[in-house]
């Protein structure tokens, strides 16, 4: 199967480069706005340790919101179900940085993947720890899951977002006014932008996702129930107000980031990472979504049977 998959991915890479409909990079974070959108990489981690990839699968990119899956995994490991008193688990139907939604929900964000919800999970992780230790915990989880210590934070991206992230600052202050932020907003925000600025390659991210896909041979870092629940949230909320369309087209739980990364989970079968930095109108990778759809159909991977 790996030879046939390699051929498929190589052809897919060529096709995508020929199409050239890349979308726009996320220029609201100036450092990401300088990236060439015409890039693509894909990596598929398989049961038993196999890895098949194509394109720029070894190029580092900013994982941004994909990090929220792993900070949630850390929070669930630390306090379990208690986190749901502070954040919901419903799809938002609004943009990932919506201010309107937060006021409607009285300061309890609808899910842990929209920015307000991720600020809450990061704030929870900061309990009893300094920002450096908190970041070390999330980075440590990713390194252990990927079995690779060469995963780091791009400080220039973190600085760039910290200098311009006025919307997230508004969300953090609103959370604070609703008594749903324990730390000073600038501490939670500073930790959050560094977590989002973790950079990884597609191969590293696909390897890290094996713990959610519960692939045989992957490190056992999540109980089957936690992995199932994280996957459910990825399916319902992982692509924000584009989650329904993504589920319809692809049929797999997935999490996007404005760096152009997507992590997809085919439970028990594969963990897939795709990167293409040009985004669609929802802030999700345009060519990444297209590649995910083609791969899922080709392999017959879907959680809907
Ligand atoms: O907070 C932000 O806006 C970014 N650091 C992350 C947003 C993001 O990746 C949304 N994903 N598509």
Give pLDDT tens digits for 190-245.
999 999 999 999 999 999 999 999 999 999 999 999 999 999 999 999 999 999 99
Judge if 2-61+199-299 and 65-198 fold alike in CATH terms: yes
CATH number of 65-198: 3.40.710.10
**Entry pTM:** 0.98
Mean pLDDT computed over 242-270: 98
Q: Give the model confidence (pLDDT) of 52-75 as tens digits.
A: 999 999 999 999 999 999 999 999
Q: How far is the CA of 65 from the centre of ligand 1 (A)?
A: 5
SS (H, E, C) the chain: CHHHHHHHHHHHHHHHHHHCCCCECCCCCHHHHCCCCCCCEEEEECHHHCEEEEECCCCCEECHHHHHHHHHHHHHHHHHHHHHHCCCCCCCCCCCCCCHHHHHCCCCCCCCCCHHHHHHHHHHHCCCCCHHHHHHHHHHHHHHHHCCCCCEECHHHHHHHHHHCHHHHHHHHHHHHCCCCCCCHHHHHHHHHHHHCEEECHHHHHHHHHHHHCCCCCCCCCCHHHHHHHHHHHHHHCCHHHHHHHHHHCCCCEEECCCCEEEEEECCCEEEEEECCCECCCCCEHHHHHHHHHHHHHHCCCCCC
Checking if the pLDDT of 1 tops 80, the result is: no
Per-residue model confidence (pLDDT) at position 225: 97
65 as an active site residue: the answer is: yes
Q: Could you tell me what percent of the chain has a pLDDT over 70?
A: 100
Q: Ligand 1 pocket: which of 24, 95, 97 to mutate (most atoms <8 Å of CB)?
A: 97
CA-65 nearest atom, ligand 1: 9
Catalytic residue among 62, 65, 160, 256: 65
Confidence at 40, pLDDT banded by 50, 70, 90: very high
Q: Whose Cα sits closest to atom 1 in ligand 1?
A: 115
Q: How far is the CA of 47 from the centre of ligand 1 (A)?
A: 30
Q: Ligand 1 pocket: which of 29, 32, 35, 64 to mutate (most atoms <8 Å of CB)?
A: 64
Q: How far is the CA of 11 from the centre of ligand 1 (A)?
A: 30
Q: Where are the chain's structural domains?
A: 2-61+199-299, 65-198
User: Class for domain 2-61+199-299, per CATH?
Assistant: alpha beta
Q: Give the model confidence (pLDDT) of 162-184 as tens digits.
A: 999 999 999 999 999 999 999 99
Residues at CB less than 6 angstroms from ligand 1: 64-65, 96-97, 115, 161, 168, 196, 256-258, 283-284
Q: How far is the CA of 6 from the centre of ligand 1 (A)?
A: 31
Mean pLDDT computed over 73-97: 96
Per-residue model confidence (pLDDT) at position 102: 95
Mean pLDDT computed over 267-272: 98
Per-residue model confidence (pLDDT) at position 20: 80
Confidence at 46, pLDDT banded by 50, 70, 90: very high
Checking if the pLDDT of 151 tops 80, the result is: yes
């Amino acid at each position: 199967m790996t030879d046939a998959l390699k051929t498929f991915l190589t052809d897919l890479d060529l096709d995508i480069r020929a199409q050239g409909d890349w979308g726009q990079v996320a220029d609201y974070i100036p450092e990401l706005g300088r990236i060439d959108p015409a890039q693509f990489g894909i990596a598929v981690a398989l049961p038993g340790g196999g890895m098949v990839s194509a394109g720029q699968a070894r190029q580092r990119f900013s994982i941004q919101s994909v990090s929220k899956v792993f900070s949630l995994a850390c929070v669930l490991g630390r306090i379990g179900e208690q986190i749901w008193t502070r954040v919901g688990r419903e799809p938002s139907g609004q943009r990932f940085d919506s201010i309107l939604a937060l006021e409607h929900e009285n300061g309890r964000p609808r899910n842990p993947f929209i920015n307000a919800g991720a600020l809450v999970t990061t704030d929870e992780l900061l309990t009893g720890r300094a920002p450096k230790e908190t970041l070390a915990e999330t980075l440590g989880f990713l390194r252990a899951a990927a079995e690779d210590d060469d995963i780091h934070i791009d400080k220039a991206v973190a600085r760039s977002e910290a200098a311009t992230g006025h919307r997230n600052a508004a969300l953090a202050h609103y959370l604070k006014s609703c008594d749903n932020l324990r730390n000073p907003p600038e501490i939670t925000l500073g930790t959050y932008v560094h977590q989002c600025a973790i950079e990884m390659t597609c191969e590293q991210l696909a390897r890290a996702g094996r713990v959610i896909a519960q692939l045989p041979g992957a490190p056992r870092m999540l109980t089957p129930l936690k992995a199932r629940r994280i996957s459910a949230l990825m399916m319902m909320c992982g692509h924000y107000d584009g989650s329904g369309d993504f589920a319809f087209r692809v049929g797999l739980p997935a999490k996007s980031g404005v760096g152009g990364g997507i992590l997809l989970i085919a439970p028990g079968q594969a963990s897939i990472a795709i990167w293409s930095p040009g985004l669609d109108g929802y802030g999700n990778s345009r060519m990444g979504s297209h590649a995910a759809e083609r791969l899922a159909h080709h392999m017959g991977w879907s959680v809907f049977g």
